[in-house]
Amino acid sequence: MKKSISIWSFYIKGTLEDKLVLAKEAGFEGFEIDLSEDGPVHLKSSRDDLIAIRRLVEKNGLKLSGLATGLYWGSNAASDNEETLQRAAAILNRQIETAQHLGLDAILVVPGSVGVDFIPGCEVVPYERAYLRATEFIRQALPHAERCGVRIGIENVWNKFLLSPLEMRAFIDQFGSEWVGAYFDVGNALATGYPEHWIEILGRRIIRVHFKDYRRAVGSVDGFCDLLSGDVDWPKVMQALKAISYEGWITAEMIPPVPFYKHSPETLIHNTARAMAAILHLPSA
């Protein structure tokens, strides 16, 4: 398994290269970048811009491991609003093209939300309607994904949708396509279940893995914490990943706890690298 870190883990000011240098110093092999409105990779980035970013990453001794985006939180692919649906479809198609130019074969996709507690006033969509729209959202993008050689990775997130590994498996399998898989997040699964169960059930459908830790007793997004500081049973998670012969990227997606790290944000990156190294060498449960 290969160790990577998400750009969202960095609470440091500076350029993309500053983050790459820090990631390399901490011992990471990969770097997960995001598609955003105004970041280094954005909706209007040209092919040449993206090739330049790929070269910058390689110049700093790293490889791009995946392409995430937070844009779906403002563009629900299951919305009742037609304009919102069209915007979500445009984001997905752009994400696919961006990944291709970056030399990536997988993207993280939120296929729709029933509701989101951490977004005030969020639209609530009836569950069955959300399922049908999410299915169409992914289906319409599949030909483009296949042409570009990019797999669509469905992430388990706090969107009140695809709440069990059985449902996630069925959602993926309905497409009958190798171009749809799971972008599995260990910490996100902990609030309502056990990540090792998800891994066992999703099996080879998993194309990327996010590492986060979480304290169940907190019960909100404030429960996310440093790796090895929460309730994830890491030996069981590693046993499950080995059982399905997963050998791909493991990406730390940390939510920087600002009060603790505000005077030394680099410490979070180094602590995360050390924790990941320890987890990856844990004996099986």
Tokens of 10: 């960095």
pLDDT in tens, 87-103: 999 999 999 999 999 99
pLDDT band at 283 (very low <50, low <70, confident <90, very high): confident
For residue 285, pLDDT beyond 60: no
The whole-number pLDDT of residue 126 equals 98
pLDDT in tens, 3-35: 999 999 998 888 999 999 999 999 999 999 999
Question: Residue 235's pLDDT is what?
Answer: 97
Q: What is the pLDDT of residue 41?
A: 98
Q: Which amino acid is at 110?
A: V
Task: Give mean pLDDT, residues 191-212.
Answer: 97
Instruction: Write down the pLDDT at residue 59.
Output: 98
- The pLDDT assigned to 109 comes to 98
- Averaged pLDDT, 188-202: 96
Residues 133-136: contacts with CB within 8 Å, 24+ apart?
Answer: 133/77, 133/78, 133/79, 133/85, 134/77, 134/78, 134/161, 134/171, 135/171, 135/174
What is the pTM (predicted TM-score) of this model? 0.95
Strands 106-109 and 180-185: unpaired
- Tens of pLDDT, residue by residue over 251-277, are 999 986 666 777 788 999 999 999 999
Give the burial class of 201: count Cβ atoms within 10 A of its Cβ; 0-12 exposed, 13-18 middle, 19 or more buried: middle
248 CB-near residues (< 8 Å, 6+ apart):
1, 2, 206, 207, 208, 209
Model confidence pLDDT, tens digit, residues 237-250: 999 999 999 999 99
**Phi, psi (deg, nearest 5) at residue 261:** -105, 5
Higher pLDDT, 264 or 223: 223
pLDDT in tens, 136-153: 999 999 999 999 999 999
- Domains of the chain in sequence order: 2-280 (3.20.20.150)
The most confident of the ranges 51-55, 120-124, 262-266 is 51-55
User: What local confidence, expressed as pLDDT, does residue 256 receive?
Assistant: 65
Phi, psi of 65 (to 5 degrees): -105, -20
Q: What is the pLDDT of residue 284?
A: 63
According to the model, what pLDDT value does residue 67 have? 98
Q: What are the E-state strand segments in 78-148?
A: 106-109
Question: What is the percent of the chain with per-residue pLDDT over 70, rounded to a whole number?
Answer: 98
